[in-house]
């Protein structure tokens, strides 16, 4: 009688767990394939850049799920935002006039906000809030665009080292956006 009660208790507990968390019964997600990466990258603004990033051998993208690929992409974008912010500090100090210094200072603020948006995307990914993740990625792109607008005036510097960093950061965030669209499906 006691063993029947134990079996009934275990079975009931399992049913309750599956009702509360139906994903507990779900099969694990399959690993990402090159076809998946192609599909994602074709939805970005720079498909060849995206494919080059996501097929980089050090990332092992084919050994992870789409969720894992999103996390990898977020980490790359966050590293890019931090690297850009680090590159801005000496530019502020080296600025020869107020206009240039102000433009780089505004860029620094933009990249602080961009990093916050990317970290927010990471938090939302962990909560499986893919739509929110997509919005955070777009918010980060807008911060990079604002920085670009500050530095593209002829009064600042048409050959600023931030132009390439802005372009790449926006592309990384665009990859996050494309993956989040795929996760929503």
In this structure, what CATH number is given to the domain that contains residue 170?
1.20.140.40
Q: What is the pLDDT of residue 34?
A: 87
Q: Is residue 15 part of a domain?
A: no
Comparing 105 with 21, the larger pLDDT belongs to 105
Range of the domain at 124: 31-184
> pLDDT tier at 20 (50, 70, 90 boundaries)?
low
Whole-angstrom Cα distance, residue 145 to residue 160?
14
Q: Is residue 3 part of a domain?
A: no
CA contacts within 13 A on the Cβ side of 133: 27
Q: Which residues, other chains included, contact 152 with Cβ-Cβ below 8 Å and sequence gap of 6+?
A: 158, 163
Asked if pLDDT for residue 26 goes beyond 70, the answer is no
Q: What is the pLDDT of residue 44?
A: 95
Q: Is residue 138 part of a domain?
A: yes
Whether the CB-CB separation of 165 and 83 falls below 8 Å is answered with yes
Q: Is residue 114 part of a domain?
A: yes
3-class state of residue 97 by DSSP: coil
Asked if pLDDT for residue 147 goes beyond 80, the answer is yes
Whole-angstrom Cα distance, residue 171 to residue 146?
15
Q: Is residue 5 part of a domain?
A: no
Average pLDDT over residues 29-48: 91
Average pLDDT over residues 60-76: 89
Number of domains in the chain: 1
Q: Is residue 147 part of a domain?
A: yes
Single pTM value for the model: 0.82
Q: Is residue 21 part of a domain?
A: no
Residue 60: enclosing H or E segment and its boundaries?
none
Whole-angstrom Cα distance, residue 185 to residue 177?
13
Q: Among 17-26, 46-55, 113-122, where is mean pLDDT lowest? A: 17-26
Asked if pLDDT for residue 37 goes beyond 70, the answer is yes
Residue 162, Cβ density class (10 Å: 0-12 exposed, 13-18 middle, ≥19 buried): buried
Asked if pLDDT for residue 56 goes beyond 90, the answer is no
Mean pLDDT estimate for the chain: 86
If you ran DSSP here, which 8-state letter would residue 25 be given? Answer: G
Q: Is residue 61 part of a domain?
A: yes
> pLDDT tier at 152 (50, 70, 90 boundaries)?
confident
């Amino acid at each position: 009688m006691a063993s029947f009660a134990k079996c009934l208790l275990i079975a009931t507990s399992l049913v309750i767990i599956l009702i509360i968390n139906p994903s507990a019964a779900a099969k694990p997600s399959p690993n990402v394939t090159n076809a998946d990466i192609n599909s994602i990258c074709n939805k970005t603004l720079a498909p060849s850049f995206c494919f080059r990033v996501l097929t980089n051998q050090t990332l092992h993208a084919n050994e992870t799920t789409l969720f894992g690929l999103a996390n990898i992409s977020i980490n790359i974008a966050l590293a890019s935002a931090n690297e850009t912010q680090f590159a801005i500090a000496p530019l502020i100090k080296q600025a020869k006039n107020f206009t240039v210094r102000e433009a780089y200072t505004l860029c620094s603020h933009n990249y602080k906000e961009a990093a916050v948006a990317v970290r927010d995307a990471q938090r939302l990914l962990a909560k499986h809030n893919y739509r929110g993740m997509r919005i955070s990625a777009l918010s980060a792109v807008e911060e990079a665009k604002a920085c670009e607008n500050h530095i593209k005036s002829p009064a600042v510097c048409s050959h600023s080292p931030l132009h390439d960093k802005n372009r790449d950061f926006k592309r990384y965030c665009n990859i996050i956006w494309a993956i989040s669209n795929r996760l929503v499906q």
